């Protein structure tokens, strides 16, 4: 019970600070919005589909997953600032649950990601994207799981490296192949067999496939439950790992 | 209130392929009584902060035992956290939060309900004379105000023991004096205060008892007065013309009240039991021998002399 309460306390503080500067949420959507406006129009001819709506049904889910991955992976920077200010150490001498220290922050990241995803989706509606609300909510669940996982990973790595200088190249190095191997920008159906073979080992590729299936309205596609399951398992694993780092001594 | 036996900690750092082990704390035995201000005096890198962080549950010790307020540190660090407060050297406030927000949150992290936490925060803000700034962001505070917020955060849950790591480092003299008053107030309210410092005057003036630490070990413990008394007596420095040094030394060297004599280029140093009674005797002896003198100074032993005797180095050199 104290764990739930502690998580809420940390989450509420983090939300309060986020809402004090909500401009960061908007800065976060700037890049995906640019993709939506400046890159997506290329897709109708490139994907050889008939309508804009069809192109957006393929592209927007990938874009949202991209946002969830990158948004999460770079949250560690904020934690390093908190480490430096002594805020983390101050929390660690209290009896507060160590999982709460992590989860409260990751939940804040999740909420901010969902807010961004809503903005993107609403914009895409303008471009004739149509998706059932039930399918959309499931897709958001997928995004929530992804952002919980990537932000937990980012916090864990931040606790290990403790320096922005190390975190930035590290996260970029991880994110780059993950991005290319997940078929986010273009579906991997165009990929040669060997590339698809590698992509099958990339969990985010499963997440993208699942999210696309949801946007098409194909709830029965096994990609949906497979993607959700893989993301849920990885999210739990990442949270447990990072929470253990919070519990361990931080010098 | 605090009892440690053989507390040890070493760190391994990697430089290239070589592993280097640094023994930061090598067997610390401490006894801190309830309701006292206990000071850890020593140069930077002596192991003070490492010891403090072990006692504050932030670092697991490699060996030894410790109990704090009757709770075993190694087996139940979670219970220790409930009875201690810890204020780190580098501060602990978040620039974008206000002091009141920080205090209420900190109190709630200890399980105190919201309304009670708000009351506590108001009380502590008042006690530390921070009410005026309570709703401004921490980034607008002066160094002294920030430090007071840090300490307020460390004691909001009314701990039995509070650990303050270098509480006055970087403060101007006025804020420092103010901080000493705050620390004394905490003790007078019944808290046991454990501070680290590398300031001699702070250890001397503020602490009821101190331990002097060097290279990870405690080299001396006691009240500041008792430690200084151990150095056995005062030093009188007599300034003379260079030509007169040897005759003065022969006159005073045989005097019964002088326990030790050192000659320098234009002065002699006399180690005596009690400087105040020795000075007239010295003057009389030199006068009788027609030895002219320029100056005479009484030097009472300081904690630095204690450190010097125990380690062979001066704390000021660090």
Query: For position B250, what pLDDT does the model report?
Result: 82
Q: Is the distance from CB of B185 to CB of B152 less than 8 angstroms?
A: no
Total domains present in chain A:
1
Chain B residues with CB inside 8 Å of A82's CB? Answer: 94
Asked whether the predicted pLDDT for residue A188 surpasses 80, the reply is no
Determine the structural domain holding residue A39 and report its residue range: 2-247
Rounded distance between C-alpha atoms, residue B211 and residue B226, angstroms: 12
What backbone torsions phi and psi does residue B180 show, to the nearest 5 degrees?
-60, -40
pTM as predicted: 0.84
Rounded distance between C-alpha atoms, residue B6 and residue A18, angstroms: 46
Which residue segments constitute the domains of chain B, with CATH numbers given?
A: 2-93+141-228 (3.40.50.300), 232-300 (3.30.70.920)
Asked whether the predicted pLDDT for residue A106 surpasses 90, the reply is yes
CA B150 to chain CA mean position, Å: 18
Q: Token digits for A165? A: 């200088």
Asked whether the predicted pLDDT for residue A3 surpasses 80, the reply is yes
- A251–B59 C-beta distance less than 8 A: yes
Q: Which of residues 70-99 of A touch B (CB under 8 A)?
A: 82, 85-87, 89-96
For range A28-54, the mean pLDDT: 82
Nearest to A11 by CA among A75, A106, A149, A77: A106
Rounded distance between C-alpha atoms, residue A4 and residue A104, angstroms: 9
Query: For position B112, what pLDDT does the model report?
Result: 92
Q: Is the distance from CB of B210 to CB of B203 less than 8 angstroms?
A: yes
- B111–A2 C-beta distance less than 8 A: yes
> Which letter does DSSP use for residue A36 in this model?
I
- B57–A95 C-beta distance less than 8 A: no
- A251–B97 C-beta distance less than 8 A: no
pLDDT for A111-165, tens place per residue?
999 999 999 999 888 888 888 888 999 999 999 999 999 999 999 999 998 888 9
Query: For position B317, what pLDDT does the model report?
Result: 57
Q: Is the distance from CB of A151 to CB of A241 less than 8 angstroms?
A: no
- A95–B109 C-beta distance less than 8 A: yes
Nearest CA in chain A to B11: A251
Considering only CB atoms, B92 lies closest to which of A2, A20, A87, namely: A87
Query: For position B314, what pLDDT does the model report?
Result: 75
CA A96 to chain CA mean position, Å: 26
Query: For position B232, what pLDDT does the model report?
Result: 64
User: In this predicted model, which residue has the larger pLDDT, A39 or A160?
Assistant: A160
Q: Token digits for B252? A: 């005073």
What backbone torsions phi and psi does residue A85 show, to the nearest 5 degrees?
-75, -10
Q: What is the mean pLDDT of chain A?
A: 88
- B81–A20 C-beta distance less than 8 A: no
Residues 6 or more apart whose CB falls under 8 angstroms from that of A168 comprise A77
**3 state SS for chain B:** CEEEEEEEEEEEEEECCEEEEEEEEEEEEEEECCCCEEEEECCCCCCHHHHHHHHCCCCCCCEEEEEECCEECCCCHHHHHHHEEEECCCCCCCCCCEHHHHHHHHHHHCCCCHHHHHHHHHHHHHHCCCHHHCCCEHHHCCHHHHHHHHHHHHHCCCCCEEEEECCCCCCCHHHHHHHHHHHHHHHHCCCEEEEEECCHHHHHHHCCEEEEEECCEEEEEECHHHHHHHCCCEEEEEECCHHHHHHHHHHHHCCCCEEEEEECCCEEEEEECCHHHHHHHHHHHHHHCCCCCCEEEEECCCHHHHHHHHHCCCHHHC
- B97–A94 C-beta distance less than 8 A: no
| Angle between the N-to-C axes of helices B143-155 and B173-188, in degrees from 0 to 180, rounded to the nearest 10 | 10
When scoring A5, A90, A99 by the number of chain B Cβ atoms within 10 A, the one with the most, hence best to mutate, is A90
Asked whether the predicted pLDDT for residue A20 surpasses 90, the reply is no
CA distance B136 to chain A (A): 14
| Neighbour tally for A219: CB within 10 Å | 13
Query: For position B156, what pLDDT does the model report?
Result: 93
Chain A residues with CB inside 8 Å of B108's CB? Answer: 9
Rounded distance between C-alpha atoms, residue B302 and residue A165, angstroms: 46
Query: For position A229, what pLDDT does the model report?
Result: 94
Nearest CA in chain B to A90: B92
Per-residue pLDDT of chain B (318 residues; tens, 9 = 90+): 998 898 888 888 777 777 888 888 898 899 999 999 999 988 888 888 899 999 999 888 998 899 999 999 888 888 999 999 999 988 888 999 999 999 999 999 999 999 999 999 999 999 888 999 999 999 999 888 899 999 999 999 999 999 999 998 888 888 888 899 999 999 999 999 999 988 888 888 899 999 989 888 898 898 888 888 777 678 888 888 888 888 888 888 777 788 788 788 888 888 888 888 888 888 888 888 888 888 888 888 788 878 877 777 777 654
Query: For position A251, what pLDDT does the model report?
Result: 42
């Amino acid at each position: 019970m104290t764990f739930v309460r502690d998580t809420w306390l940390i989450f509420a503080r983090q939300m309060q600070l986020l809402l004090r500067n909500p401009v960061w949420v908007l800065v976060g959507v700037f890049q995906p919005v640019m993709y939506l406006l400046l890159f997506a129009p290329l897709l109708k001819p490139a994907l050889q589909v008939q309508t804009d709506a069809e192109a957006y049904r393929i592209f927007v889910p990938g874009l949202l997953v991209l946002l969830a991955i990158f948004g999460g992976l770079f949250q560690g920077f904020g934690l390093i600032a908190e480490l430096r200010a002594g805020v983390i150490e101050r929390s660690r001498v209290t009896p507060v649950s160590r999982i709460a220290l992590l989860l409260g922050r990751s939940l804040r990241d999740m909420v901010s990601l969902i807010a961004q995803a809503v903005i993107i989706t609403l914009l895409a509606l303008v471009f004739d994207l149509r998706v059932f609300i039930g399918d959309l909510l499931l897709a958001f669940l997928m995004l929530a799981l992804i952002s919980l996982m990537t932000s937990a990973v980012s916090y864990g790595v931040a606790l290990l490296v403790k320096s922005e200088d190390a975190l930035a190249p590290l996260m970029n190095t991880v994110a780059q192949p993950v991005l290319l191997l997940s078929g986010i920008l273009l579906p991997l159906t165009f990929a040669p067999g060997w590339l698809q073979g590698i992509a099958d080992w990339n969990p985010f590729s499963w997440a993208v496939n699942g999210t696309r299936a949801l946007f098409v309205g194909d709830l029965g596609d096994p990609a949906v439950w497979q993607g959700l399951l893989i993301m849920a398992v990885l999210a739990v694993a990442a949270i447990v790992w990072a929470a253990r780092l919070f519990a361990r001594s931080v010098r | 209130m605090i009892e440690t036996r053989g507390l040890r900690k070493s760190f391994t750092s990697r430089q290239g392929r070589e592993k280097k082990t640094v023994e930061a704390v090598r067997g610390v035995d401490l006894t801190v009584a309830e309701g006292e201000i206990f000071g850890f005096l020593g140069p930077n890198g002596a192991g003070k902060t490492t010891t403090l962080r072990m006692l504050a549950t932030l670092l697991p010790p490699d060996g030894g035992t410790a109990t704090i307020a009757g709770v075993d540190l190694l087996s139940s660090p979670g219970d220790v956290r409930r009875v201690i407060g810890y204020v780190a050297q580098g501060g602990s406030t978040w620039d974008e939060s206000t002091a009141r927000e920080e205090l209420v949150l900190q109190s709630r992290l200890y399980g105190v309900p919201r309304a009670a936490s708000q009351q506590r925060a108001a009380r502590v803000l008042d006690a530390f004379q921070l009410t005026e700034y309570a709703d401004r962001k921490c980034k607008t505070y002066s160094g002294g105000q920030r430090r007071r917020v840090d300490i307020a955060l460390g004691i909001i849950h009314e701990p039995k023991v509070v650990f303050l790591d270098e509480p006055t480092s970087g403060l101007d003299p006025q804020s420092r004096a103010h901080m000493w008053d705050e620390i004394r107030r905490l003790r007078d309210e019944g808290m046991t205060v454990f501070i680290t410092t590398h300031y001699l005057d702070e250890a001397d003036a503020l602490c009821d008892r101190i331990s002097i630490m060097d290279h990870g070990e405690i080299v001396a413990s006691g009240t500041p007065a008792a430690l200084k008394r151990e150095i056995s007596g005062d030093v009188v420095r007599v300034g003379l013309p260079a030509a007169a040094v040897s005759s003065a030394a022969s006159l005073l060297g045989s005097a019964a009240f002088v326990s030790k004599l050192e000659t320098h280029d234009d002065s002699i140093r006399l180690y005596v039991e009690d400087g105040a009674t020795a000075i007239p005797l010295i003057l009389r002896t030199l006068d009788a021998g027609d030895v002219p003198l320029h100056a005479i100074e009484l030097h009472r032993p300081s904690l630095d002399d204690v450190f010097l005797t125990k380690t062979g180095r001066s704390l000021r050199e660090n």
